[in-house]
Amino acid sequence: MKKYQKAIIATATVLTLATTAVGCSSPKADDSNKTTQQTQTDIGKKKVIADIEMTPKNFTYKQDDTFNEKGKELTVIPMHIANNTKSEFGVGAGDFHLETADGKKIDTFGYHDSFGDVIPAGKILDGNAYFAIPKNGKDYTLVYHPAKAASEQTLKWTIGSPKK
């Protein structure tokens, strides 16, 4: 009887290990889609114009119960801007806008902590840019283009859809 018990335990162990190995070795479909989706955006990618480094940190919805624009949702993009020049540099959230997949321009939404300042040489500015976007909107591009800048002074980031 003990001989059969050892054989049954050994067989069960082998089957359990084999099943576990097969289950752990195949990727989940949901995980591979998330990875693909994340690599399609420029969120977190630094871009440089005239020794000024700009990086959008993320693109998320902003919960604010006082926001009440019909058919729109409030979003926020935290920006990291480094002035690597030898002179000060002025920048604000108003220098940015969103473009939709069909080419429509969405200007920043004035919000109490939107960024705007003169960055001294060698210093950094971190701040938020807010946008009121259509509900269920997707495939956005963040554009840096100050109002009085030449057309070649433009940076673009593909940022996709906001995250909750």
pTM: 0.74
82 assigned to some structural domain: yes
Which pLDDT score is estimated for 147? Answer: 78
Among residues 130, 1, 126, which one has the least CA distance to residue 75? 130
Is residue 124 in a domain? yes
Q: Is residue 42 part of a domain?
A: no
Within-domain flag for 37 = no
Q: What is the CATH number of the domain that holds 151?
A: 2.60.40.1240
Q: Kindly state whether residue 12 falls inside one of the protein's structural domains.
A: no
Answer whether residue 51 is part of any domain. yes
Q: How far apart are CA 66 and CA 75, in angstroms?
A: 14
Residue 148 backbone phi and psi in degrees, to 5: -100, 15
Query: Pairing between strand 60-61 and 52-56?
Result: unpaired
Domain contains 125:
yes
> Is there a contact between 75 and 130 (Cβ–Cβ < 8 Å)?
yes
Residue 57 burial (10 A CB sphere; 0-12, 13-18, 19+)? middle
Decide if 147 is inside a domain: yes
Amino acid at 27: P
Is the per-residue pLDDT at 3 higher than 80? Answer: no
Q: Which pLDDT score is estimated for 88?
A: 96
The residues, any chain, with a CB within 8 Å of residue 105's CB and separated by 6 or more, are 97, 98, 99
Q: What is the pLDDT of residue 153?
A: 77
Tokens of 48: 């440089």
**Per residue in 32-43, pLDDT tens?**
444 444 448 999
Q: How many domains does the chain have?
A: 1
Which of the four pLDDT bands, split at 50, 70 and 90, describes residue 27?
A: very low
For 114, the domain range is 47-160
